[in-house]
Amino acid sequence: MSRRAVTLVAALGAVLLTAAPALADNPTGPADGDDPGKGLSPGATILVFVVLPIVVAVLIGLVTWLPGAIRTNRYRPAKGWTAPPVWFAGPPEPAAAVQSADRGDVVRGGASGNW
């Protein structure tokens, strides 16, 4: 059986299994005081069960996508980096901290690995 056929059978089976209880008749009849009232028209049914879920999904997608689309500073491989540098978990005044730092007698770099 091809993958497409298996997917189709699984999808139809899921629809039938979930819809079967709704299609079954109530053998005991309506319950006391059960007044189902007027049903929805076909247009209202399509609006409630098709259009509104699509609108909600599109709105959630827009709310998720929009901040990324508006952001201006992005890295583009061909254009180089143009955003200002960011010092994570550093002092509040990084320039002053670097200028006032004690350099010490540390040998930097080289093949011996002294840092």
Q: According to the model, what pLDDT value does residue 94 have?
A: 78
* DSSP three-state, residue 80: strand
Greatest extent of the chain over all pairs of C-alpha atoms, in Å: 93
Give the bridge partners for 109, in sequence order: 114
Average pLDDT over residues 85-110: 76
Q: According to the model, what pLDDT value does residue 110 have?
A: 62
pLDDT in tens, 33-90: 667 778 889 899 999 999 999 999 999 999 998 888 887 666 778 877 777 777 788 8
d(CA 62, CA 55) in angstroms, rounded, equals 10
pTM of the model: 0.39
